[in-house]
Structures are given as C-alpha cells and as structure tokens.
A = this chain, B = another copy of it.
Amino acid sequence: MVNTLYLPELREMLAEHDDAGLEEFCTALHPARTADFMEGLSPAESWEVLSHADVASRTEIFSYFPREKQVEMLETLDREEMGQLIGELPPDERVDMLEQLDEKVVSELMPLVPSEERSEILLLQAYPENSAGSVMTTKVVSLSENITKQQALEEVREWGDQSETVNYLFLVDDAKHLRGVVSFRKLVFARNEQRLSELMERDVISVRATEDREEAARLLGRYDLLAIPVVDDQNHLVGLITHDDVLDVLREEATEDAHMAGAVQPLEESYLETALLTLTGKRAMWLTILFFSGLLTTTAMSHYEEFIETLPWLICFIPLVISCGGNSGNQSATLIITALTTGDVTMKDWFRVIRRELIMGLLLGGLLAFFGLFAVIGVGFLLPDTWHILATTIVPVTLILVVTCGTLTGSMLPLMFRKFKLDPALMSNPFVAVIMDILGIVIYMSVAQIAFKMLTKTAT
C-alpha cells in the first residue's frame, strides 16, 4: 500500500522535470525498495525515472522490477537503449529475461547488444537447461596464485563492482585452472608481502558446468558457502553461482516438485503469465493419462457388476473405500518423496521403510476399520438382518487391507522411481491414486465375494 502513496509525488517530479529530486530518488534507498516504489509507473515513465540514475544503479533497480514489467519495458521501449541495457545486466539474469521475450523482439535487440556481451549470452544459452552452467554468472574474477597480498588488494580495488562477489577470491594458475580460494577477510588481515599461494585453501568445493543445478544448490547448502565456483571438464574456472541464485533454484525446484505431485507439468512462467492454452495443455496431458488409467476401474467395476446386483448396498461404500486407500497412499508417497529430496531416506533404507509402512498401514487401517464398523452399523439398520452381520465384516476387513496396500504402494513407488533414475516426485502421487482406485475395488469386491461364499455355505 505504501508503494502507491509515492506515485503522485514521482509523477509530479517527472512532470516538473525535477532532475535533482529524481536523482536522489534513484540513489537514496536500497535498489529493491526503489523498484517497489515505482510499481504502477508505465514502462515509459519508469525508463524516464531510471535515466536519472548512473549505469550501475539503473541496472540494479531494473533487475528488481517484476519480470512482467521488465519484459514489457524491453519489448516496448526504444530498441537501441534496451540493447544497451541488456548489455549492462548481470549475465545470468539477462539470459533468463531473453527467454521470456518475444522471439521477434529478441532478433531485433540482439544486434544492438555490445558484441562482448552478445557472445557471453550465446555461451550461457549453450548450456543445457537446469545445468549449473545455465544459472551461473560469468562475472567471476580470478587472481594468479603467485601475486602478493598487496597486489591482490590492488586488483580487487580496481574490479570495483565487476565481480558479483568479492567474499571469495578464486586463484588460478597460468592456464586458468582453478587452484585455490582465499577469503577476502583473510586477505585483508594477511601481511602485505605474503603470497596468495601461502594463504589459499586448496580444498575448493566446485561444481561442473554440465552438472545439475540442484547439485550446485546441494553443495552450497552442505558447505555453507556464499558462492560456488563453476569449472569445465578441464577444471578451468568458467563461472560462479552465488547464494541468491541458489535461493531461486530452490524456490523453483520446490514449485516444480509441488506441480508434479499435483499432476501438472511444471510451468516455465508464473501461473498468471502462462498463456491459457499452454496451461491447459500442461494439465491435459496428465489428465488424459490418468483418465485412461482410470478406465481400468470401469473394467474392474463391470467385471463385478453382476455380483453387485446380488448385494446392491455394497456400492454405497465404494467411494469411501477407494478414497481411504488413496489418502493413505498419498500420505506415504508424500513422506517418502520429501525424505528422498532432503536426503533423509536413501535407497539403502528400503527395508526399514517397508517395515515402518507395513506397521503404520495396519495401525491406521485398524483405526479406520473401527470407525467403519460404526458407519456400517449406522447404514446397516436399513439392511435385512442376514446381511447385517456380513456387512459388518466386509467393510472393516476391506479398510485394513486397502489402507495397508496404500501405505506400501505409496512408499514403494517413489523408491522404485528413484531406483530407475526417475525423479521420485514425477507423478508418484497421482499414480498412487489411480493404482489405489483399482486395488481398492478389487480388494473390496474380493473380500465381499469370499464373505458371501462363506455365508451361503454355512446357510446351506
């Protein structure tokens, strides 16, 4: 709400060409706050405000705008100026942005981007999607391991804002191989004539550019790093992934996992930005797969149709029975998928997992069976007396079996996915639901048939 309060003042400053006021506006606050305050300005107005900032602040404020606004500005404002701006943006961010621009606009903008930056864009775009290389920045500055502290400090001062992080200084040999790392703090407090090779840690945690970006996130988290250097296959330093890139990766991965668990193909853009037909397509694929798997329930049901006509009240409990199986299966799948993601459970724990899930399935099934007994008695008053006793056995026994099947299926499916090198999050939950629908029907009907046979036998 605060943000819009400042809009009229900003507009007034623009109308009055209050250059001094606008200049102060662009520098007084954290660039992210400045960006927030500019919410509601049109692309053209925003650009006019930004023209009062120096290059560094302008780029920073721009990179804090919502992605939607950035895209709108790049697409609608003067091509020449936008080409320049793209050249000034951090390498990893501009690649992200270009992916979301209209292709025609990109082809018009690219020739206007300074040539050095243009080749860097092409370089980053060449890395496979979701690789460490695709999220790294190439703005990493390295020092020779043979210089002294004094020389190093001079170099760092000269970089200015060139490097995204100066907390770690990466040291390379003459052929640019990554050799070590020294913290800026350690450098500052070293003696002036000390060589970096004496100060550096040789055990550098790094990640290959072609590895999965999740691996980079994992390493950074495990080793509590502020940034992790990215190397090529020959251990040449090619880039850097900083902690804020990792935050973005983690957020995206969490959203992707949630989408997959909900049977939606992960979106590339946000919900409201994704075109309606694209979104429909991403949902249609899995709905169709689930529909055709669900047809098996129809086959199963038609198989038992005749038997159900003998005991029509059975159908009353069909939705309840299959939803209990689905719920318990879903719980197990969720628990195991999250535990696999965080590393709390690994493949070697499979036996412990089965044992735990078996016990929990029996306990939870027993509990629901107990409730089910009362439910059946409640409905049972409507049934002829003979069936009464029968019904009180069928539903509870079914519930124990279905819930236990649910916990076992739900826990084993993600482990199997992992075993076959598939992402366990990939559709495990909806698959578990489909499997439990079918198993639920088959178990319920089998239990009923057995009970029915036993009863007719004792009756004769």
Interface positions of A (Cβ within 8 A of B)? 28-30, 32-33, 64, 153, 157, 166-167, 184-185, 188-189, 201, 203, 205, 220-224, 226, 243-244, 246-248, 250-251, 254-255, 257-259, 261-264, 270-273, 276, 279-280, 283-284, 286-288, 290-292, 294-295, 297-298, 301-302, 305, 308-309, 312-313, 315-320, 322-324, 326-328, 330-331, 333-339, 341-342, 344-345, 349, 352, 356, 359-360, 363-364, 367-368, 371-372, 375, 379, 382, 403, 429-430, 433-434, 437, 441
A334–B280 touching, CB < 8 Å:
no
A327–B287 touching, CB < 8 Å:
yes
Per the bound structure, the CA–CA distance linking A333 and B28 in Å amounts to 41
From DSSP, what is the main secondary structure of chain A's interface residues? helix
* Chain B residues with CB below 8 A from A349, complex form: 272
* Chain B residues with CB below 8 A from A339, complex form: 270-272
A184's partner among B185, B223, B324 (CB-CB below 8 A) is B185
B433–A326 touching, CB < 8 Å:
yes
Per the bound structure, the CA–CA distance linking A53 and B250 in Å amounts to 34
Least CB distance from A268 to B in Å reads 13
* Chain B residues with CB below 8 A from A33, complex form: 203
A262–B320 touching, CB < 8 Å:
no
A319–B203 touching, CB < 8 Å:
no
Least CB distance from A12 to B in Å reads 22
Per the bound structure, the CA–CA distance linking A319 and B290 in Å amounts to 12
B315–A301 touching, CB < 8 Å:
yes
Given the contacts A221-B244, A334-B264, A335-B264, A315 and B313 also touching, CB distance less than 8 Å:
no
Per the bound structure, the CA–CA distance linking A226 and B164 in Å amounts to 12
Least CB distance from A186 to B in Å reads 11
A324–B259 touching, CB < 8 Å:
no
Least CB distance from A100 to B in Å reads 14
The 23 listed contacts between A and B (C-beta, < 8 Å) are A32-B222, A32-B224, A167-B167, A246-B247, A258-B334, A258-B338, A261-B261, A262-B333, A262-B334, A264-B331, A271-B335, A276-B360, A283-B360, A284-B364, A287-B403, A288-B371, A290-B323, A290-B324, A292-B371, A294-B319, A298-B320, A305-B313, A318-B318
A295–B320 touching, CB < 8 Å:
yes
Most B CB within 10 A of own CB, among A292, A315, A363: A315
A367–B334 touching, CB < 8 Å:
no
Apart from A30-B223, A271-B345, A319-B441, what are 20 other A-B pairs with CB-CB below 8 Å?
Answer: A29-B203, A166-B185, A167-B226, A243-B243, A246-B247, A250-B250, A250-B254, A254-B254, A255-B338, A271-B338, A272-B349, A276-B359, A280-B364, A291-B320, A298-B319, A301-B316, A301-B317, A302-B379, A305-B316, A327-B433
A294–B441 touching, CB < 8 Å:
no
B255–A258 touching, CB < 8 Å:
no
* Chain B residues with CB below 8 A from A255, complex form: 338, 341-342
Per the bound structure, the CA–CA distance linking A270 and B264 in Å amounts to 27
Per the bound structure, the CA–CA distance linking A222 and B36 in Å amounts to 11
Least CB distance from A341 to B in Å reads 8
* Chain B residues with CB below 8 A from A295, complex form: 320, 375
A323's partner among B205, B264, B283, B294 (CB-CB below 8 A) is B294
Least CB distance from A138 to B in Å reads 18
